[in-house]
Amino acid sequence: MTNSSINSLFLSPKDRLAVALDVPDATIAFGMVDRLEGTCRWLKIGMELYYAAGNSLVEALRGRGFSIFLDLKLHDIPNTVAGAVRSATVAGAELLTVHASGGGVMLQAAAEAAQAPDSPRLIAVTVLTSMDAAELASVGVSASPVEQALRLARLAKESGIDGMVCSAEEVSSLRQEIGPEAFLVIPGIRPAGASKDDQQRIATPGDAISRGASMLVVGRPITLASNPADAARAVLAEIAAADETSNPKR
């Protein structure tokens, strides 16, 4: 995937939604995939499910035609993270997260490992959407979430990673700082009226797209809905509407 293709105005809403399979095992995951009724293309597999099911699940879902966003938030010594990138390549993941707070040397090692053929595109996590200014202060970061996200995004970019995870609150600032081709992935998405759950910095799908998001990650508002397929269709419709408003000549 190239930068230009990912951020093209002609991407369909399905290309801009990743449904988070935050479930404990493969059986539940496959059941949820069936309930989505083909409404999505991207599936995000996080640590809970990956540690339970491993690469075999990634391979099985790819065999069913899905693109896999492997959200492992890698954060370790450079050699270990580089090895994990190579393992994700074997599994066939197309997107893979690393923590920008791991530092420049770690990020560079990950970026170098991702130069191999068929490697996943790396996405650097800036500030978790579950953290606010008070949470940052509790771990010794005096900067605001926006300031910290910008600092880490710059570091990631300098280290060879041009995709970032941030909240919708930081999208406009990162877009201006990093450029129009940056691939910005936004979690903490909650349709109007939905529960915040454990998220602190949230936005509706339409708001995040309007601010410049490349891809939205939506989990519980879809997977805990009585009809996950209908919930996914509602998010896709909001993405399409926001896209049309932002790019009326598309």
pLDDT at residue 154 is higher than 50: yes
pLDDT tens profile 178-198: 888 889 999 989 876 555 554
Mean pLDDT value across the chain:
89
| 73, 157, 196, 249: the active-site residue | 73
CA distance 159 to 88: 20
Measured CA distances, 193 to 118, 199, 204, 217, 242 (Å): 40, 14, 9, 17, 18
Q: Tens digit of pLDDT for each residue in 4-13?
A: 444 544 478 9
73 noted as active-site residue: yes
CA angle 55, 61, 20 (to 5 degrees): 90
pLDDT digits (tens, 9 = 90+) for 101-150: 999 999 999 999 999 999 999 999 999 888 889 999 999 999 998 999 99
User: What does residue 184 show for φ and ψ, rounded to 5 degrees?
Assistant: -105, 115
**What one-character DSSP code corresponds to residue 219?**
-
Mean pLDDT of 221-238: 96
Residues 57-106: tens digit of each pLDDT: 999 999 999 999 999 999 999 999 999 999 999 999 999 999 999 999 99
Coil vs helix vs strand at 68: strand
Tokens of 170: 């930081």
Mean pLDDT of 156-171: 93
pLDDT score, position 191:
77
pLDDT at residue 162 in the model: 84
Q: Measured between alpha carbons, how far is 124 from 19 in angstroms, rounded to an integer?
A: 19
The domain spans of the chain are 3-246
Which CATH number among 3.30.1490.100, 3.20.20.70, 3.40.50.2300, 1.25.40.10 corresponds to the domain 3-246? 3.20.20.70
Per-residue burial over 223-233, b if 16 or more Cβ lie within 10 Å, else e, is bebeebbebbb
Phi and psi angles of residue 12, each rounded to the nearest 5 degrees, phi first:
-80, 160
